[in-house]
Amino acid sequence: MKEYTTPMIRNIALIGHSGSGKTTWTEAVLFASKATNRRGKVEDGTTVTDFDDEEVRRGISLNLGLAPVEWKGYKLNIIDTPGYTDFVGEVRSALRVADTAMVFVDAAAGVEVGTELTWAYAEEEHLPKVVLVNKMDRENANFDKTLASLSESFDAQFLPVMLPIGAQADFKGVVNVLEKQAYLGAACTPAPIPGDLVERVEELHTRIVEAAVEADEALMEKYFADEPLTAEEISNGLRKVITEGAYVPVLVNSVGSETVGLNVVVDLLVQLVPSPADRPFTAEGPNGEETFAVSDTSPFTLLVFKTTADPYVGKLTYFRVYGGIVNSGDTVYNTRAGVEERLGQTYVMRGKEQIPMERLHAGDLGGAAKMSEALTGDTLCTRERALRMRGPLFPTPLFSVAISPKTKGDTAKMGPTLTRISEEDPTLQWRQDPTTRETILAGMGDAHVDTAIRRIQGRFGVGLEVSVPKVPYKETITATNTSQYRHKKQSGGAGQFAEVHMRVEPLERDAGFQYEWEVFGGRISSSFKPSIEKGIKSVMTQGVLAGYPIVDVFVAVTDGKEHPVDSKDIAFQIAGREGFKQAFLGAKPVLLEPIYNFVITVPDEFAGAVMSDLNTRRARVQGMEQSGKKAVITALAPLAEMLQYATNLRAITQGRGVYSMELSHYDIVPTHLAQQIIEQAKIEHEE
């Protein structure tokens, strides 16, 4: 592959609902540009961008895939992204380094859930958008209906720059409205515009010219003076208003058994979407935020947008060049880790193929192997000109499972493997829960977590058992109580003796543990104060009611007795432990459960069903607001009722609901439920 300079590069992320044809379209473009000599098929598992074992097995994209295409002197870095909502992290990474979001819409289905969600992510990144109405050859395909559903769903000015000739089985060509030219068949043979489209083409062409002149005052003056505009002036003006987000061009094609309109689509992409040079970048320097042009002469800046771990190939680091030129063997400085690292051989990635490149210019996407420190979101620069860019915006994981190793051999490998897989996909997180003593793996949904576990087993050979995680309950008291406990042990030799009197009192929530010594007159030597505390703390970690940690308790040691020979550290530890248990059980103990704050966003028509469902989950709805055509519901709900909520919400809202959650506070578990939890804990303990 040859070297491409910044103005000749186009970085395009393909986004949209699952099944809208992104991967198939990528295959068609690779084949049309002669990058591949045969078209792969999703159903055969032979596509360039879906090469992972799990992707082949499931027949859907799970990771972003790069497909650089050379087209008439330009380089299009196509980034194919998953449409399934669980794999949002990959979409976010792709949109962070793209200059255009190309939104795929199925001509028969119109705007779908995935279209709405990914459109919102592109908006967050302030990306120019292009819509491709795909699959015009499908049964029930309707271009005008699709246009109407776009206008209904999104607040944007849609500008059709292509029109279909025919539809469904009769879809046989397209009209390029910009140049007022029709093209027929797979070969895109030029032809006259069909009579029934002539008037519409003229109307749309006028709209396009009017949109283009908005970008430039000189052009506008020329237009109002009725001076003719050149094709180049129109497309440059149009590119400017598209880059600013004022207009969204709409393209159309089909890439089924016969490819119709594809070449026109790619030609228009080259013409109309911004090059990296059209969109400056911002980075944090020693003097605050600075803005630079994406250019070979700007400070050397790379942003890592993906890393993959492979036991055979090692670690692959994907990056975008924002400033400067990257050469193989360059030394780069990682601002997060504060270390220098050698890049080694740089590549252009096409699926899993690594195409060696000696040099990459600003705006291009590349990869390097065996970089030990680089993680997704890192900025690589020079030590002398240290800069830091924002990485991709990743949502917090919502769906958790408890995992444990299947065999002894898996135990040692589990931790390092979980770390590697979480570095590769930052929307996966793992942790040890100190309360339940479980290893928790969290992701965006059941399919996401299931895929990660299969990948851990298939790629790294680590067997894992999966279960529903326990709720991290806590134990506390609600009343004051006192206790006396004597520990006496005579066994022929040296004995053990300790007597401890104590008082326990409840503390405010999150106050922790407080310990006071109220023994006067030397009834117990103060040297035993830490021994008693150690005994109490051993109970607090293990709990009394159901094996959960004890919190928010004040303990005062008020009196006791000791023996000049038999009193020792262990005796007072035992007396402290048992005395505390006694006092705790008489102080009206309760279980506490974690209450989370949920923010749930759903289309208006599902708001009632979601509220009804929340009422069955002991939730307290705090309020509801409108955001466009969506309802935003805030509610406080116990985690115990919401463990599998990602799956439930998807079912209630046909996949169109999204939510975020964060811990709010701990609250007392209702008595009848607490009793069940305590009984269950006893059974588990006996087993």
Question: Which of 162-166, 219-223, 419-423 ranks highest by mean pLDDT?
Answer: 162-166
Q: Dihedrals φ, ψ of 309, to 5°?
A: -110, 125
Decide which of 491 and 299 is more confident.
Answer: 299
Q: How far apart are CA 26 and CA 12, in angstroms?
A: 11
Answer yes or no: is pLDDT of 250 > 90: yes
Among the listed residues 580, 615, 650, the one whose alpha carbon sits nearest the alpha carbon of residue 117: 650
Q: How far apart are CA 180 and CA 237, in angstroms?
A: 17
Return left, alpha or beta for 142; rule: phi > 0 is left, psi -120 to 50 is alpha, else beta: beta
Confidence band (pLDDT; 50, 70, 90) for 256?
confident
Q: How far apart are CA 455 and CA 262, in angstroms?
A: 35
Answer yes or no: is pLDDT of 313 > 80: no
pLDDT tens per residue, range 612-665:
999 999 999 999 998 877 899 999 999 999 988 988 998 999 888 888 899 999
Q: How far apart are the first and last CA of the chain?
A: 64
Contact 348, 78 (CB under 8 A): no
Check residue 492 and give its pLDDT: 65
Answer yes or no: is pLDDT of 272 > 90: yes
Check residue 309 and give its pLDDT: 79
Contact 138, 107 (CB under 8 A): yes
> The tokens of 2 are what?
């040859």
Provide mean pLDDT across the span 241-266. Answer: 95
Residue in the structure block whose two tokens are 């459109």: 119
Burial class from Cβ neighbours inside 10 Å (0-12, 13-18, 19+) for residue 69 reads buried
Full DSSP string of 96-115? HH-SEEEEEEETTTBS-HHH
Answer yes or no: is pLDDT of 289 > 90: yes
Return left, alpha or beta for 45; rule: phi > 0 is left, psi -120 to 50 is alpha, else beta: left
Cα dihedral 671, 672, 673, 674, rounded to 10, equals 40
Angle at the Cα of 501 from the Cα atoms of 499 and 507, rounded to 5 degrees: 140
Answer yes or no: is pLDDT of 67 > 90: yes
Q: Dihedrals φ, ψ of 502, to 5°?
A: -140, 160
Return left, alpha or beta for 322; rule: phi > 0 is left, psi -120 to 50 is alpha, else beta: alpha
Provide mean pLDDT across the span 116-131. Answer: 95
Counts of helices then strands in the chain (DSSP H, E): 16, 38
Q: How far apart are CA 508 and CA 577, in angstroms?
A: 23
CA 469 to chain centre: 21
Answer yes or no: is pLDDT of 321 > 70: yes
Could you say which DSSP state residue 639 is in?
A: G
Q: How far apart are CA 114 and CA 56, in angstroms?
A: 21
What lies within 8 Å, CB to CB, of 678 at 6+ separation is 545, 546, 591
Among the listed residues 153, 23, 33, 31, the one whose alpha carbon sits nearest the alpha carbon of residue 90: 23
Q: How far apart are CA 105 and CA 89, in angstroms?
A: 21
Q: Dihedrals φ, ψ of 584, to 5°?
A: -60, -45
CA 453 to chain centre: 17
Answer yes or no: is pLDDT of 148 > 80: yes
pLDDT > 70 fraction of the chain, expressed in percent and rounded: 99
Confidence band (pLDDT; 50, 70, 90) for 406?
very high
Amino acid at site 142: N
Pairing between β-strand 314-323 and β-strand 429-433 as defined by DSSP bridges:
unpaired
Answer yes or no: is pLDDT of 529 > 80: yes
Check residue 292 and give its pLDDT: 96
Task: Please name every residue paired with 331 in a beta bridge, in sequence order, or none if there are none.
Answer: 342
Angle at the Cα of 383 from the Cα atoms of 382 and 384, rounded to 5 degrees: 90
Q: How far apart are CA 220 and CA 224, in angstroms?
A: 6
CA-based R_g, the chain, Å: 32
pLDDT tens per residue, range 158-208:
999 999 999 999 999 999 999 999 999 999 999 999 999 999 999 999 999
For the chain, give the mean pLDDT. 93
Decide which of 365 and 225 is more confident.
Answer: 365
Check residue 311 and give its pLDDT: 66
Answer yes or no: is pLDDT of 26 > 90: yes
Provide mean pLDDT across the span 421-441. Answer: 92
pTM: 0.87
Q: Which domains does the chain have, with CATH numbers?
A: 6-276 (3.40.50.300), 281-381 (2.40.30.10), 402-470 (3.30.70.870), 475-587 (3.30.230.10), 592-673 (3.30.70.240)
Confidence band (pLDDT; 50, 70, 90) for 95?
very high
Q: Dihedrals φ, ψ of 371, to 5°?
A: -90, 115
What lies within 8 Å, CB to CB, of 418 at 6+ separation is 430, 439, 441, 456
